[in-house]
A and B are shown apart, each in its own frame.
Chain A
Amino acid sequence: MTAEPILSVRGVTKRFGGLVAANNVDLDVYPGEVVALLGDNGAGKSTLIKCISGVYAPNAGSISFEGRETRFATPIEARDLGIETIYQDLALAGNLDVPSNVFLGRELEHQMLSGLLKRLDNRRMAEETQRVLSDLDVKLPHLDRPVETLSGGQRQAVAIARGIYWNAKLVIMDEPTNNLGVPEQKKVLELIRRLKASGVPVILISHTLPDIFAVSDRLVVMRRGCKVTEKNVADTNAEEVVQYMIGALDDTEAA
């Protein structure tokens, strides 16, 4: 990786009372790479991610995005800069159709009577949705169905399409293949590869080691709030990763 990192996390620490949920964590993400974040429950993955996506403000350390140090007050500020976090089920309104979800909060409108009256431009939103879905090679039978009638993988695709349409520069996916059937899991992994191919980096949180080895370039293992190792996927194997996760191996102790 010769380019500058798009995201650069330095010494981020987040405490909840006496508990140190993230302890002095460094993390770099470069354009076009998939970084996997692993660790047992309570290892601090979600805390770290929430610091990056603006949900939490870290107690110490800095986060730079595109070379500029940032401090997000809300997740919306992070998203406006291009950090799109895709949650399992929280992000979509199940009763609305696909274009309504892709454009939720940022609807396209017709101006009428020189801007006095505004009307939703449903046709253009449907066309744009179709376009971004075909860019991702996602085929949905009906765009005008409530998304609650779609499968879990299709819903993930809609959430990703929303991120892409709004020029996501970094996509964070939290357990994207959880609760999905096997064919659906494959589709989501394919989507991650497409994101990577189009130059958008992805931070992938997952427990599923085969998934991680299938799509990631690098992996970061966390344990008890600390980063215990960072390795290129090509240089490691599942067995070693598990040893790091359970604490049998720890690069910080060796150093």
Chain B
Amino acid sequence: MAIDAIGNSVLSQVVRLWAWLFLAILIVFFITAVPLVSGDTVSFLSIRNSQNILVAITPILLLGLGQTFVIISGGIDLSVGWTMSFASVVSALALRWGYQIGLPIPLAVLMGFCATLACGVGIGLFNGTIIAKLKVPPFIVTLGSAFILRGLALLFSENTTVIGLPRQIRDFGNESLFYFVRGDSEYAGFYFLTKPELPRAVLREMDRIITYPVLVTAIFVAMAIYLLRATRFGRYTYAIGGNREAAIRAGIPVDRHVIKLYVLASTTACLAGFLSVLRFTAGSAVIGDPLLLSSIAAVIIGGVSLFGGSGSVIGTVIGALIIAVLTTGLVMLNVAPFWQFIVVGCVVILAVLIDQSRDAIKASLETRQ
């Protein structure tokens, strides 16, 4: 018996299917439309494009994962975008310092990672403690800390990209589990874990399948699903969002749990920042901000109620996929990139409208029983 807070009745499970359906329709649409526009030279469902979509959603998803928990508990974290930027700058600085004092590269990377974790825990404790103990609304606290982190990130980076990192870290951020070489050269075929040595001409035919950031994100998604569905931690998150007073009366340490939720949100955001450092071999103070709204949009399209108490991790994954498929698909259709924002905005509003009418249908069915 699946005991999932929102999806309990069969009805609500079925109605929630619209998100899956919408994603499927989008994919089918782009599969047919993209070759028409590009004259059969480009395929939407190619390995390369599907991998591009996955790489594009990793930061949105990592920001959205922690956010999913926070919003289910009835809060919100507006600081995750600048948290990601701040972590990108700080971990790049830490990694570079480690490299400059002569540490071997894996150790330097580890230093960057530890700096990332420290940022995540520190920022989360700051947000969570003010929200839980001092009872300042989450919207206000995280708005404030977003500004603080923006200032700090720009200060630390001296308003430029943090460069001078060892080139080898690119491998951590860009290489993959599998490689596939297209065409009919002698090199064509699948490779597992080891990158094939290819002549320059064939290199263009190689696709990376499941890059390490995608793998890391997938592991985090799996852990988040488990945490929310199968553990006390997840159950308490739903309970606090559903009825905070009841959670307190049931003896749940609500304040401590809320603090943990904000630590979770900022830690996944910081991880996104660290992965971006490995991917671009640079730290950037402006990388996170544009992703904040996308991540909240993914969470909302995924069916998490802003009032708290309902939602799922899978929903957020679907939401992020819908956004990524839309944006890459529209680019491939040669639509001016600004249209992406307009379309995503419409989808967000539509998603909430559909969920609200679903709730109304459900309520009317239940009163009739």
Contact = CB atoms under 8 A, between A and B. Distances in A.
Interface stretch (A96-104, A182-190, A234-242): A96-104
B250 A145 contact: no
A36 B168 CA distance: 78
Contacts of A40: none
Given A95-B242, A104-B250, A118 B3 contact: no
A94 B242 contact: yes
Contact of A97 (B8, B231, B245, B366): B8
B113 interface: no
Contacts of A82: none
B251 A93 contact: no
5 contacts: A95-B242, A97-B5, A104-B247, A120-B231, A122-B1
A100 B230 CA distance: 12
Contacts of A126: 1, 3
Contact of B249 (A91, A97, A106, A123): A91
Interface residues of A, number: 30
B71 interface: no
Contacts of B242: 93-96
Contact of B252 (A92, A105, A119, A120): A105
B245 A90 contact: yes
A109 B3 contact: no
Contact of A91 (B8, B238, B246): B246
A100 B235 contact: yes
B5 A96 contact: yes
Given A97-B8, A145-B8, A123 B239 contact: no
B243 A92 contact: yes
Interface string A61-85: 0000000000000011001000000
A107 interface: yes
Contact of B231 (A95, A100, A118, A146): A118
A144 interface: yes
B366 A95 contact: no
Interface string B222-247: 00000000111001001101110111
Interface string A110-129: 00000000111011001000
A219 B223 CA distance: 55
A100 B234 CA distance: 12
A166 B245 CA distance: 20
B3 to A, nearest CB: 5
A120 B230 contact: yes
Interface residues of B, number: 26
A149 B246 contact: no
Given A90-B245, A93-B238, A106-B250, 15 more contacts: A75-B249, A76-B249, A90-B246, A91-B249, A93-B239, A93-B309, A95-B243, A95-B309, A96-B235, A105-B252, A120-B231, A144-B3, A144-B8, A145-B8, A145-B9
Given A96-B238, A123-B1, A107 B249 contact: no
B310 interface: yes
A120 B9 contact: no
B231 A93 contact: no
Interface in B233-272: 235, 238-239, 241-243, 245-247, 249-252
A79 to B, nearest CB: 8
A94 B5 CA distance: 9
Interface in B1-16: 1-3, 5-6, 8-9
Contacts of A119: 230-231
B293 to A, nearest CB: 26
A128 to B, nearest CB: 13
Interface of A: 75-76, 79, 87, 90-97, 99-100, 104-107, 109, 118-120, 122-123, 126, 142, 144-146, 149
B6 A95 contact: yes
Given A104-B247, A120-B230, A95 B238 contact: yes
A106 B232 CA distance: 9
A106 B251 contact: yes
Given A107-B232, A119-B230, A120-B230, A90 B3 contact: no
B1 A93 contact: no
Contacts of A87: 249
A146 B246 contact: no
Contacts of B250: 91, 104-106
A105 B238 CA distance: 12
Contacts of A142: 9
Contacts of B9: 142, 145-146, 149
Contacts of B245: 90
Q: Which of B3, B5, B241, B309 has the most CB of A within 10 A?
A: B3
A24 B230 CA distance: 50
Contact of A107 (B5, B235, B309, B310): B235
What 5 A-B pairs are tightest by C-beta distance, nearest first?
A105-B250, A95-B242, A93-B242, A95-B309, A104-B250
Given A105-B252, A144-B3, A149-B366, A120 B243 contact: no
A253 B203 CA distance: 102
- Tell me which of A118, A122, A145 has the highest count of chain B C-beta atoms within 10 A of its own C-beta: A122
Contacts of A97: 3, 5, 8
A220 to B, nearest CB: 25
A129 to B, nearest CB: 11
A95 B4 CA distance: 10
A148 to B, nearest CB: 8
A144 B6 CA distance: 10
Nearest to A150: B366
